[in-house]
Amino acid sequence: MLKNVFAEIFERDLHKLIIELNSYENENNIWIIEGNIKNSAGNLCLHLIGNLKHFIGGILGGFEYVRNRDAEFSSTGISRKDIIKSIEETSGLVLGTLENMKEEEFAVEYPYEVFNRKMTNTHFLIHLSTHLNYHLGQINYHRRLIAN
């Protein structure tokens, strides 16, 4: 049951991320940083991709992925098409990992301590989902600020 709930939420919200990127009238605006805006939508997308590929695909799914967190925030100019392709790949990786999990694995302790504490896979997946939504909201706000 939990795998279906998490799959539905991650699939929905990663699809919303694609919708947000496609809602930028000018593709170059994805990379704008100005005033008190410290992260562009492009960098937030790269961060979410790296985060989910690492923590879900790599650690829970056993897929090989080497994260470069610094590049998530320093890269620029990647096309919207390429970012969307990466989001779609990430979605497939996340959904595949969740599909392969047994229900009892959700109550198991996450393999690594995050935030200097132990937590279950369920707890950490909830964290990752809220983290995705936090940045999804920032991207939505970024798009509307930049458009004005």
pLDDT confidence bin for 147, thresholds 50/70/90: confident
pLDDT at 51 over 80: yes
DSSP collapsed to 3 states, the chain: CHHHHHHHHHHHHHHHHHHHHHCCCCHHHHHCCCCCCCCCHHHHHHHHHHHHHHHHHHHHCCCCCCCCHHHHHHCCCCCHHHHHHHHHHHHHHHHHHHHHCCHHHHHCECCCCECCECCEHHHHHHHHHHHHHHHHHHHHHHHHHHHC
Where in the chain are the domains?
2-147
Mean pLDDT of the 121-126 span: 98
Q: What is the pLDDT of residues 72-119, one digit of tens each?
A: 999 999 999 999 999 999 999 999 999 999 999 999 999 999 889 999
Rounded distance between C-alpha atoms, residue 74 and residue 17, angstroms: 20
**Residue 22: both structure tokens together:** 């496609």
Return the number of other C-beta atoms located less than 10 Å from residue 65's C-beta. 17
- CATH superfamily for 2-147 is dinb family like domain (1.20.120.450)
- The confidence score (pLDDT) of residue 37 equals 85
pLDDT at 148 over 80: no
**Cα atoms in the Cβ-side hemisphere of radius 13 Å centred on 2:** 18
Give the predicted TM-score (pTM) of the model: 0.96
